Chain A
């Protein structure tokens, strides 16, 4: 009798957890805060909005390319006429491996930066920014969530920098991918392999591991091991392509991610790459 009661008790406890796991409120799985690097802006100035997202422990959200599953985190803006949002910048994502596949995302707090351009003829004494942040949070299961945020940026005759953002902004600039206009590499496709080739002296000698994360989905085998080969003057990175890819791309966009700061003189572990395939 005691045994039966114990079994029933265990089963009911299991069921409670099972039901709870399915009824997770996705809107509460990620905390969202928004900051601007200017407390007061002026027409004609570009300012940056920082969306700081923190998933609950053991959950992750996704980069602009989620990889083999999931959805990119996105921000949908409602802005007044005369204010435009530009391409966001992301922190370097983690590669989350599972069952021979891979996702690109964030298990810890991350920041997405959106530059806003204020037209020089913009009239008014403030800018009201309405934004909806949408994400898919996953661990074993996946749950969509969103948050609506309103934020006001004052407008005046003199710009006023937000001193509180000095440290968070420098942390973000270190964690994002570098953008260097003179960083170039060649790329080619050989059967089922995408091969990057670049001068050895472009990359820090401390780098032992280098990987390519594409900005778009579906053309590389995300879970496959990427091979870094050192020549005398050149470095080659071999990336396996997805056998179900929708044709070969003509241009490649993404980031190179290293195990050490990737370029001499910079703290960043990743660098943006945009190249035409030869």
Chain B
């Protein structure tokens, strides 16, 4: 009986420890290894973050119907950034954490149409409809940008730029944090600004 109690006690303790580890180790933190994830893209291909070790990775939380995302796509600001840095070897992953039935969640044909119509140049459009990866990274808004360096460490999280608005005219007046950080990283230097407050629509999580 005593052995059984000790065994059950150990099981409970292990369970608690595993749970705590899952919660604390999973969360994204600046300067620490970016939490790994495995997500399917719009074409069904699985992407594992670990596969991109050795490359700079940009994560862009996306919802094509959010007016802040519209601002950066209707102006071609986002596509230009995607094209410039993908051509320089950066892996640019757009992640959609909109739950089924919520704004920004689309069927495959609609996603492909949106990507084609907007001439988006992301490396892949990843689907995170259960929101697990979004919450792991603490993604709050669309857009919400993250940069992972070639060692796999998270080096930037936050806004795309410093003018919080839905107005396209503000883009040319703004300071683009993502561009600045990528230019430094690709020149072997560290991003000067590692964290800013993201702005945009809320990510349309399941709950």
A27 to chain B, nearest CB (A): 13
Bound-state CA distance A24–B131 (Å) is 27
From residue 78 to 102 of chain B, which have CB atoms closer than 8 A to chain A? Answer: 102
Contacts of A61 in B (CB 8 A): none
Nearest to A244 among chain B residues (CB) is B195
Contacts of A163 in B (CB 8 A): none
Given known A-B contacts A68-B140, A68-B141, A244 and B158 have beta carbons under 8 A apart:
yes
B82 to chain A, nearest CB (A): 23
Q: Is the CB of A99 within 8 A of B166?
A: no
Given known A-B contacts A68-B140, A143-B67, A245-B195, A98 and B30 have beta carbons under 8 A apart:
no
Tell me, yes or no, whether A81 is within 8 Å of chain B by CB. Answer: no
Tell me, yes or no, whether B72 is within 8 Å of chain A by CB. Answer: no
Hey, what's the 0/1 contact readout for B33-68 against A, CB within 8 Å counting as 1? Answer: 000000000000000000000000000000001111
Bound-state CA distance A68–B198 (Å) is 8
Bound-state CA distance A69–B27 (Å) is 20
Bound-state CA distance A103–B201 (Å) is 11
Contacts of A255 in B (CB 8 A): none
A241 to chain B, nearest CB (A): 12
Contacts of A22 in B (CB 8 A): 65
Tell me, yes or no, whether B165 is within 8 Å of chain A by CB. Answer: yes
Contacts of B25 in A (CB 8 A): none
How many chain-B residues does the 8 Å CB contact rule pick out? 31
Tell me, yes or no, whether B75 is within 8 Å of chain A by CB. Answer: no
Nearest to B158 among chain A residues (CB) is A244
Given known A-B contacts A68-B202, A71-B165, A99-B203, A246 and B196 have beta carbons under 8 A apart:
yes
Given known A-B contacts A101-B140, A141-B103, A143-B67, A70 and B202 have beta carbons under 8 A apart:
yes
Bound-state CA distance A140–B141 (Å) is 13
Nearest to A103 among chain B residues (CB) is B202
Given known A-B contacts A244-B158, A244-B195, A142 and B67 have beta carbons under 8 A apart:
yes
Bound-state CA distance A14–B203 (Å) is 23
**Partner of B202 from A98, A143, A144, A245 at Cβ < 8 Å:** A98
From residue 168 to 207 of chain B, which have CB atoms closer than 8 A to chain A? Answer: 195-197, 199-207
Q: Is the CB of A71 within 8 A of B199?
A: yes
Contacts of B204 in A (CB 8 A): 140
A36 to chain B, nearest CB (A): 29
Contacts of B138 in A (CB 8 A): 243-244
From residue 102 to 155 of chain A, which have CB atoms closer than 8 A to chain B? Answer: 103, 136, 138, 140-144
Q: Is the CB of B201 within 8 A of A217?
A: no
Tell me, yes or no, whether B157 is within 8 Å of chain A by CB. Answer: yes
Chain B CB within 10 Å, residue with most, of A98, A136, A142: A142
Q: Is the CB of A69 within 8 A of B135?
A: no
Contacts of A218 in B (CB 8 A): 196-197
From residue 87 to 104 of chain A, which have CB atoms closer than 8 A to chain B? Answer: 98-101, 103
Nearest to A216 among chain B residues (CB) is B197
Contacts of A98 in B (CB 8 A): 202, 205
A240 to chain B, nearest CB (A): 13
Nearest to A96 among chain B residues (CB) is B202
Q: Is the CB of B164 within 8 A of A71?
A: yes
Q: Which 7 A-B pairs have the closest CB atoms?
A: A218-B197, A69-B202, A99-B205, A144-B166, A142-B201, A141-B103, A68-B140
Question: Can you name 15 A-B residue pairings with CB atoms under 8 Å?
Answer: A68-B140, A71-B164, A71-B199, A99-B131, A99-B207, A136-B67, A142-B67, A142-B68, A143-B67, A144-B166, A243-B29, A243-B138, A244-B30, A245-B195, A246-B195
Q: A99-B131, A99-B202 are in contact. List 14 more A-B contacts (CB 8 A).
A: A68-B202, A69-B199, A71-B166, A71-B199, A98-B205, A99-B205, A99-B207, A136-B166, A138-B201, A141-B66, A141-B201, A244-B30, A244-B138, A244-B195
